[in-house]
Structure 1
Amino acid sequence: MGKLTGPVRKWMMQHMQLPADVMMDLPRITMIGQLHIYIENHKGVLKFSQNELRLLLKQGQVLIKGEHFVIKTIFPEELLLEGRIDQVIYINE
């Protein structure tokens, strides 16, 4: 689906009831309280420490701050992070 232009993707999303995250390469972020965060459709890990995770997105980055971070699962476009999550910040650079 990478070759479709923006207007075609939007039309397909609206008329064929396809999810926006799939059609527009948007990240899907699922949080369970402050304990777990599951991120799909990222483009790679830019920085990881016990207190911070920064992921590259198709458009910008996402920064997650907290404490005691442990990456439980990591795949090319999916990541499961455990720890105490305090902030999730989108960076549009």
Structure 2
Amino acid sequence: MAKWKHNLKTWLTRRLELPADAVMDLPRITMVGQLHIYIENHQGVLKFSNEEVRLLLKQGQLLIKGKDFMLKTILPEEILLEGKIEHVSYLERPEN
């Protein structure tokens, strides 16, 4: 059933030219060089340190690695992180 819903949302997004982040609960990630990263539509902070931030997403996790991290803004679904960003990766949730 979940795969059917996902396929329907993907089809609607393409056919109606709607923004995928709004229709499919995807994160919107905006980076300014290696200095700032702004993430919208996350579901919580799993880990925070000076060198690593891990955020929970609906479909998995977002892993951000770097140095001297500082949270400038944190809201229920938004986060602004400053520091030297060296690596950003998406970790998919394993399928059962």
- Report the TM-score when normalising by structure 2: 0.86
Paired residue secondary structure (2:42): coil
**Equivalent residue number for residue 55 of structure 1:** 55
Q: 1:8: how far off?
A: 3.4
Give, in whole Å, the separation in 2 of the partners of 1:10 and 1:85. Answer: 31
SS of match in other structure, 1:64: strand
Q: CA deviation at 1:12?
A: 2.7
Matches within 5 A, 1:9-88: 9-88=9-88
Identity of aligned residues (%): 63
Aligned pairs, how many?
90
Alpha-carbon displacement from aligned partner over 1:49-93 (angstroms, at most 9, x marks no partner): 111100000011011000010000011110000000000011113
Report how far residue 15 of structure 1 moved. 2.9
Where 2:13 maps in the other structure, the secondary structure is: helix
Q: 2: CA distance between counterparts of 1:48 and 1:11? A: 36
Within 2, Cα distance between the matches of 1:9 and 1:49?
A: 35
* Letter of the structure 1 residue corresponding to residue 37 of structure 2: I
Tell me how large the CA RMSD over aligned residues is.
1.5
TM normalised by structure 1 equals: 0.88
